[in-house]
Structures are given as C-alpha cells and as structure tokens.
Amino acid sequence: MTTQITMPALSPTMEEGNLAKWHVKVGDAIEPGQVIAEIETDKATMEVEAVDEGVIEELLVPEGAQNVKVNTPIARLKGEGEAKTPPKQQAQPQPSPRAEEGKVGAGAAKFSTPTPGPSPQTGGERIFASPLARRLAKQDGIDLSGLHGSGPHGRIIKRDIEAALKAPRPQAAPEARAQSRELTTGREARSETPALRRSLEQMGIRAGSYDLVPLDMMRKTIAKRMTESFRDVPHFPLTIDIEIDALLKARGEINKRFGDNGVKISVNDMCIKAAALALKLVPESNASYTPDGVAMHHHADIAVAVAIPGGLITPIMWAAETKGLAQISAEMADLAQRAREKKLRPEEFQGGTFSISNMGMLGIKSFASIINEPHGMIMSIGAGEKRPIVKNDALAIATMMTVTVTCDHRVVDGALGAAFLKAFRSFLEDPMAMLL
C-alpha cells in the first residue's frame, strides 16, 4: 500500500516551508522514529521523523526546494505502515510536553493526502453552491446539505439562502448562527477583502532605482502577524523612568563574587526576573484575551526578543518566577545562541504569557513595541544613562532607564498596567527584594 508524506505544519503560523535536506533516498527502508528530512520554517530548522514503516518509493520534492506549501505531498512511502497505523499522520517532529500543553498544531505534521478544497460534502457528493451563497450560509448558520439549489444544474445561489432564512428554523439555529457570525467577524472575514496594493512606481518611485530583495518566510510571517496585532488589538503604552544605580551595583557584586563559577548576569537577566516577579505580584496582568474569556496564567512565561538574520524570534523563559538569576542567565545565553543558529525547538519559542524587547544595548533611549499575541503586554527596555534628576528636593545625577509597556486594553487597563510597572520598578530599584 502506498502512502503520501506531506509537508508538515510545524507551527500554528506556518503556511509553507523549505525542504532543507533529505535524510533518506529512494529505496531506503524506514521505521517509526527515524529522521527522514529537515524542514526550514520561518523560525527554525527542524527534523521530521517518520511514524510509519515502509520503503521510500519516490521523493516528490527535491532537496533545497523553497516555499513548499503545507500539506503538499513531498514523498511516497510503500509498505504496510498505513495499514498498521491510522492514516491521519505520517511524520512529526520530536514530541514535546510543552508543545502539547497549549499550542494547537504546534509541531504536528500531517500525513494524509490533502483533500481538494473546503467544499462541504454529504454522502461523499460535493454540494454545488456559489461563493456568495457559501459565505451567507456560513454567516447565518445554514446547513447547505439541506437545501435544494435553484440555479443552473441545481447550484445553490443567493436567493436559496434568502429563502432558507425566511423559512421556520430549529431552535438551535440562532445559537449556531451567532457562533458563525462571531467567526466571520474576525480576521478570517477581514482577510477576504485584502487592501489594495500599489507598486512603488505607482507611488512615485522610479523604475530601476532600487533593488528588490524577495521576502523570506520569516519576514512574511513577521509582516503578517505584526500587521494583524497592530490592527486588531486595542493597545496603549505606559512609560516610566527607573533609577538603576542599585541594580548595577548588585549586578557587579554578583558577577565579581561568582564569576569564577561561570556566572555572568546581565541587566536583561535581572529585568526578566523582575518582570516575572511583578507578574506574580499583580496576577491580573499576567493574562491573555480569548473570545471565551480572559485566560489567567499560572506562571510567568517570559518571551524575550532576540535579533537574528532576517528578523527576530522570541525564545521563552518558562516559569521564570521559579528560577534564580544564574539559571536565567545560563538558559537565556543558550536560547539566544541556538536562536541565531535556527536550532530552537517549537516548544521553545511558541507560547508564553509576556514579552520583553530590550534595545538598550543598541543605544535606544525609549520605544514602544507591538504586542506579541496572545500576550497581554510587551515591555520595551531602553538604555541606562546618566541623567539629572531631583532627589530630596535637590538636583542629583543618577543612572536612569526608560521602560514602556504596550498593553492589550481588553485584559490590561491603565490602572492594572500601572500597578504592574510599580511592582517592576520596586524590584529593579531594590534588587535585594528579588532574592526573597
């Protein structure tokens, strides 16, 4: 029996991937758990393992192929594997409990032959309906399989939907209709009418006066997700200045005392710890908006922005409130290094409850970041610098750092965001409190 292996969806945002390398060739016998290929996504390069056993009959996509759509057949497997295991899966990345906890589709690789389109079917027969009729039916919770079309060859058209709306409906229909309307008022409905795009020439840029660099998968994903977040999330910034002289002194003493043991704490490490403790001190701020309610997270899982060639990625410090500064420093160094090498596993950068973006090392004084959904807030950390301040009614010089949090107003309002920042500042200005 022959089974098709398809391009797996290795993350919720993945729409296409690059087939970086084959680890098998035609005629090779494979078994469950064997690495068969490396797939490059917008965030990382991951190994894909086989689930079924059999013999590679044909490699449908060559090594090095770019922009292969998810669910596109990439190879054919000949053997008894499909009969022994359910055909819903063919290969998957290495399993992870973290990925399975809260990320639907994280790391799941499809192994079934893709079906042609989302057309509703009944009894194995396709329902013929116009695109407008399908959209109206979806909006109003109408089951197309129960309608008889009045269009050519029995095609369901707009007037059939309108007639169905006027007919008596079962009691449960309004509920289904409401759910359908809720779905179609989100991004899916908005994406049906994309904004008009104009070329640079139409905007006055002379042809031939620039070089066009093609968008890679990471840049496409960043553009899509940041546009959606900035457009769809009602956000606002809150900014404070924090005196960090005590923080810098404590950091210096820690590194001096424990440096021989390989400990090298950064300001960013201390900000991660302080943010995690502040989230636990103000638990209402450690939240995410969902259509069904506000999710109150049990741990402060801090996603930290790391710049890599072509964009950025946010590896996650899981349960940061439970870790000491030395552990945070070591884990963050490892995550950042593997992020730059595109060797992070999906569960290491998918999820989280809060984001931190630090551009202080680049000399940026202050900035505001775009919310990284589904996080309720993202913190932007600027450079520490000597500034004149008023202390005890007298002019003084202190090292100040400007911090901004961008808040999702659906879960974190102004007072709640201010309470979080107050707690965060208290830990930075009195770093000994982080040791309690």
Helix, strand, coil content of the chain in percent (nearest 5): 35, 25, 40
**Rounded to a whole number, what is the distance in angstroms from the first to the last CA of the chain?**
63
For residue 21, what are the CA distances in angstroms to 37, 40, 59, 148?
6, 9, 12, 50
Spatial distance between the Cα atoms of 33 and 52, rounded to a whole number of angstroms: 8
Q: What is the rounded distance in angstroms from the CA atom of residue 93 to the CA atom of residue 96?
A: 9
- Residue 239's SS3 state is strand
Angle at 381 between CA 376 and CA 383, to 5 degrees: 175
Q: How far is the C-alpha of 31 from the C-alpha of 333, rounded, in Å?
A: 36
235 catalytic residue (yes or no): no
Q: What is the rounded CA–CA span in Å between residue 109 and residue 229?
A: 26
Calpha distance 418→366 (Å, rounded): 17
Q: Could you give the CA distance from residue 47 to residue 106 in angstroms, rounded to a whole number?
A: 14
C-alpha to C-alpha distance for 175 and 169, rounded to whole angstroms: 11
The region that residue 276 occupies, defined by phi over 0 for left and psi between -120 and 50 for alpha, beta otherwise, is: alpha
Helices (H), 282-389: 325-340
Structure-block tokens of residue 271: 């900000």
Choose, from 23, 299, 375, 409, the residue flagged as catalytic: 409
Cα distances (angstroms) measured from residue 35 to each of 49, 87, 110, 180, 344 = 4, 19, 15, 41, 17
Cβ–Cβ under 8 Å, residues 377 and 420: yes
248: its two tokens? 């810098």
DSSP, collapsed to helix, strand or coil, labels residue 108 as coil
Half-sphere exposure of 89 (CA within 13 A, CB side): 16
Catalytic residue list: 409
